[in-house]
Amino acid sequence: MLDAARAANYHGIVAGTRKTTPGFRLVEKYGMIVGGVDAHRYDLSSMVMLKDNHVWSTGSITKAVQAARLAAGFSLRIDVEVQSQAEAKEAIEAGADVVMLDNMVGDQLVQCARELKRDLGQKHRFLLESSGGITLANLKQDAHLDQAIDIISTSAIHQSTQHVDFSLKIDQK
């Protein structure tokens, strides 16, 4: 995945998601790091990720970010999952550190990312993350590689990797 992104001249962060195989998180995260890919979040305490349920339960993206900032303090980044450019703008203006443009593809993704950087990039400090359905097959043909996208995150890095089939035999003497 990293090699494909670099071959396509993408210079941003390529990251695996937190969604790892039960019992193998340490191994899969280590594999990502050794392979040159960012491990994104090691676990739920590594970064605050606000999803739709968090926004719904607090009443707005702004209120969710404010509540998260109170709990996280200055030391943890806040990543907000959004579905539209309007939601992304609200998250940025509320103080989100990372805005995940979830399941946006093609021209919608590129236009949204470029406009957010153009309109808000001078006033606010934020990273834009593309996530949702990104695979090696669609990485090169989709817009995820646009330079306005700071982070590409996908579980395909570790969940689509073929495992090594081995067994341990005990020799009984």
Which element (helix H / strand E) includes 86? Answer: helix 85-94
Structure tokens given for 136: 């090696």
Give the span between the Cα atoms of 53 and 111, in whole angstroms: 26
Domain 2-159 has CATH 3.20.20.70: yes
Give the span between the Cα atoms of 70 and 79, in whole angstroms: 14
Q: Active-site residue among 19, 63, 123, 140? A: 19
pTM of the model: 0.85
Judge whether 95 and 78 are in contact, CB under 8 Å: yes
19 has catalytic annotation: yes
Give the span between the Cα atoms of 43 and 45, in whole angstroms: 5
Amino acid at 40: H
Going from N- to C-terminal start, the domains of the chain cover 2-159
Pick the closest to residue 79 from 60, 63, 93, 92 (CA basis).
92
For every one of its 173 residues, what pLDDT tens digit does the chain have, with 9 covering 90 and above? 899 888 888 899 999 876 777 787 788 888 888 889 988 877 777 889 999 999 999 999 999 999 999 999 988 999 999 999 999 999 999 999 999 999 888 889 999 999 999 999 999 999 999 988 888 888 776 666 778 999 999 887 765 555 555 666 667 77
